[in-house]
Structure 1
Amino acid sequence: MPRPAGGPTGPQSVDRALEILDVVADAAGPVGARELARRLGCSLSTVYHLLAPLTARGHLARTADGYAPGPRVASLHRSYRRHLGLDPRAAELLPRLRRATGAEAYLSAYRDGRIVMTDSTVPVTDREHPFLPGPETRAHATAHGKVLLAGVPRPARRRYLAEHGMARYTGRTITGAERFEAELAGVRAQGFAVSIGEADPAFTCLAAVLPGGAGVPDGALHAVSVSLPTADFLRRRGEIRAAVARAAAGRLR
């Protein structure tokens, strides 16, 4: 939504600075100051006023084509993963799982009522992929969301679903609370979750929780998952399931 013109004052300047970071992060390439001013609905001088400290602190980098994420972003990501209690070695699972299955692999986490995909093997240039790192609002329709929600107490799960809803993404999406609870009971019984065309009609994903969730800060849970075209999954489901199980157990080499 466009913001009123004029110089930043108080919290509005913070909000605009964060919006600049979001716009640059989501862009396919560097973003110029004039485009940022247009997106924020404010003056060019206001944008330059905010770009100066963001660039000086390393959150943004100025290039010949505009502004791009800066070097500070990488350290913030590492800090975020550390605060989630994720073992740094867990990231090593993803390329191994990718090689073992030929499918894109992901790490996801639940903490304080939020689910976030923290890493993946999807190329950073592929902005059209249906599963990209960041906050997850489709947890009821994804395998990593299901397996994480299956591991939290029912009151916390109800709060999550009340906040995010259960939107229908495809004809297979589960949108009823009781049916979803039955689905999660099956997830707990079998030790993994599957989503066949529930978040994206062309893709199936399979996920398992990483062990040790009870010992990490604030009861965070972590999951490893893969996604691949549904026809491929149906042909190789046993192989895929075994590879994800080995990865979750730390036995994938």
Structure 2
Amino acid sequence: MTEERKYWVPALERADGILSVLALEPGKYKLIDLSKRLDINKSSMFSLLHTLEALHWVEKNTDDTYSLGPAIAVLGSSFVKRFDLHDSFQTEAAGVRDRLQETVQLAKRIDDHILYLGKVEALTPVRLQSEPGMRLPAHATALGKVMLAQLPNGSLKQLYPERNLAKLTPHTIADRDKLFEQLGNIREQGFALDDQEAVMGFQCVAAPIFNRAGEVIAGVSCSMPLHQWEHKAEATRKEIIALAQRLSVLTLN
């Protein structure tokens, strides 16, 4: 037994699995679905969900599916407030939103996923589901790819030991070698694109935010429907790169 697993609590690991699944696909899974998805027997899943619901970590919907509960929002808000970057983002991104009339997002990378930290939302008919606290696979998003691109090859291989990658849409990169090749180009050009790789019908551009040591600490992005992207692509790319550069400078002060 490794030192890391010596004091491991399996119930917490199972709860983490439940929360991770519900974060990605809220309102999709019932108890039996979660039991099959996570390979946890029904009686254990019932106990876990009952406890999580009592603690307000999950909510049971009217159709018996489950979503994350309000306690998660409180914890996520507390986590976000640790970052001075969040306040700067809210201020700086507001102007970008107003100029583009599109939603701007802030996220950081946690291993092979991204965690959304902030969102400045535009008043558009189509609302993005990327709420603060939500996680998505990094390889399937512009935000994730622009942060992965700053990692050395050794670290990338540790994050992605398997060649096959999970697909969120038919356009998601599903081959590790193709991902690594694209990351090299992203590193050189300074921004990343997501062409319907996370959500069908949406295009996204993202740029990295660096700290004083030159390490990527977060990323900013703008997503929009394809018909809007056709007219706003160049302006959006310039705005997001400039926003990331401003936020990088602010982290130095």
Distance 1:164 1:245 in 2: 31
The aligned residue for residue 3 of structure 2 is none
Q: What's the Cα RMSD here?
A: 4.5
Q: TM-score, normalised by structure 1?
A: 0.64
Q: Over alpha carbons, which structure has the higher Rg?
A: 1
The aligned residue for residue 239 of structure 1 is 235
Aligned in 2, Cα 1:49/1:141: closer, same or farther, shift over 3 Å?
closer
Identify the range of structure 1 (88-97 vs 199-208) with the bigger mean alpha-carbon deviation: 88-97
Aligned in 2, Cα 1:114/1:220: closer, same or farther, shift over 3 Å?
farther
What is the CA distance between 1:205 and its match in structure 2?
0.5
Please give the residue correspondences for 1:57-68 in structure 2 after superposition, counting only pairs within 5 Å: none
Confirm or deny that 1:146 pairs with 2:145: yes
Confirm or deny that 1:89 pairs with 2:87: yes
Distance 2:69 2:50 in 1: 17
The aligned residue for residue 218 of structure 2 is 222
The aligned residue for residue 8 of structure 1 is none
SS at match of 2:51: helix
Contact 1:213–1:221 (CA under 8 A) maintained in structure 2: no
Q: Identity of counterpart residues, as a percentage?
A: 25
Distance 1:38 1:193 in 2: 35
Residue deviations 1:6-50 (CA, integer Å, cap 9, x gap) = xxxxx576567667867987656xxxxxx879977449x957973
Confirm or deny that 1:119 pairs with 2:118: yes
Contact 2:203–2:226 (CA under 8 A) maintained in structure 1: yes
Aligned in 2, Cα 1:61/1:249: closer, same or farther, shift over 3 Å?
same
SS at match of 1:208: strand
What is the CA distance between 1:94 and its match in structure 2?
4.3
Aligned in 2, Cα 1:70/1:208: closer, same or farther, shift over 3 Å?
same
The aligned residue for residue 162 of structure 1 is 161
What is the CA distance between 1:227 and its match in structure 2?
0.8
What is the CA distance between 1:127 and its match in structure 2?
11
Aligned in 2, Cα 1:81/1:50: closer, same or farther, shift over 3 Å?
same
Identify the range of structure 1 (162-171 vs 221-230) with the bigger mean alpha-carbon deviation: 162-171
Residue deviations 1:159-205 (CA, integer Å, cap 9, x gap) = 2233694245325746351x433322222222111122333341111
Distance 1:187 1:38 in 2: 38
Q: Which one-letter code corresponds to 1:145 in the other structure?
A: G
SS at match of 2:207: strand
What is the CA distance between 1:225 and its match in structure 2?
0.3
Aligned in 2, Cα 1:94/1:163: closer, same or farther, shift over 3 Å?
farther
Report how many aligned residue pairs link the two structures.
226
SS at match of 2:114: strand
SS at match of 2:106: strand
What is the CA distance between 1:241 and its match in structure 2?
1.1
What is the CA distance between 1:214 and its match in structure 2?
3.4
Q: TM-score, normalised by structure 2?
A: 0.64
Distance 1:236 1:97 in 2: 12
SS at match of 2:238: helix
Distance 1:81 1:192 in 2: 24
Distance 1:205 1:214 in 2: 27
Distance 1:48 1:212 in 2: 40
Identify the range of structure 1 (159-168 vs 204-213) with the bigger mean alpha-carbon deviation: 159-168
Distance 2:68 2:176 in 1: 40
The aligned residue for residue 136 of structure 2 is 136
Aligned in 2, Cα 1:68/1:249: closer, same or farther, shift over 3 Å?
same
SS at match of 1:106: strand
What is the CA distance between 1:151 and its match in structure 2?
0.9
Q: Which one-letter code corresponds to 1:170 in the other structure?
A: P
Aligned in 2, Cα 1:101/1:174: closer, same or farther, shift over 3 Å?
farther
